[in-house]
Amino acid sequence: MKNIALSLLSLLLLASCTGEKRDKKETVHQNEKLIQQYFDYFNQHNWVKLSEMYTETAEFRDPSLGPEVVRQSRYQIIKKYTELAQMFPDLKDTVSAIYMAGEHHVVVEFTSSGTAPDKSRFILPICTIFTIENGAITKDFTYYDNFE
């Protein structure tokens, strides 16, 4: 009887671990899909939908916002990208690679490009680390060379 109980306990633990791995794998897959959708919204200039992918207030590290981590609301996200798209109407991000970094982090390498009304063009390689919790972006830490 003792052996049967131990066998059942072992099976329950194994099933629990397998289910946990499946849940983590599904979360990682959902996070990757979320980030792919993020870049689709970005390239459509759908700033409202893009902002809704973040929590109400998210943390940002972005050279354009200064050297410190800054908290921004969805409204501020919309405002920032609306102004950027006014300066560069053909603003576009081209994703080079997406790296899954555990259950809550997605690292993306991409190139941002655009043309100003005076026909000057920029092409900027960027790397962003997204932190995702409960299906929403909580942190957006972006790195690029901002020296000219």
Q: How do residues 98-141 score in pLDDT, each as one tens digit?
A: 999 999 999 999 999 999 999 999 999 999 999 999 999 999 99
Three-state DSSP class for 58?
Answer: strand
What is the DSSP pairing of strand 136-143 with strand 121-133? antiparallel
- Per-residue pLDDT of 40-73, as tens digits, reads 999 999 999 999 999 999 999 999 899 999 999 9
Closest CA to 89 of 23, 50, 31, 45: 45
- The bridge status of strand 105-115 relative to strand 92-100 is antiparallel
The CATH architecture annotation of domain 2-143 reads Roll (3.10)
Count of CB atoms situated within 10 Å of the CB of 47: 19
pLDDT at 11 over 50: no
Token couple for 17:
């671990």
User: Residue 2 — pLDDT band, cuts 50, 70, 90?
Assistant: low
pLDDT over threshold 60, residue 94: yes
Q: Is the pLDDT of residue 18 over 70?
A: no
Burial of 53 (0-12, 13-18, 19+ CB in 10 A): buried
H or E element at residue 77: helix 74-87
pLDDT at 26: 81
Q: Is 52 helix (H, G, I), strand (E, B) or coil?
A: coil
Going from N- to C-terminal start, the domains of the chain cover 2-143
Tokens of 12: 């329950």
The whole-number pLDDT of residue 9 equals 47
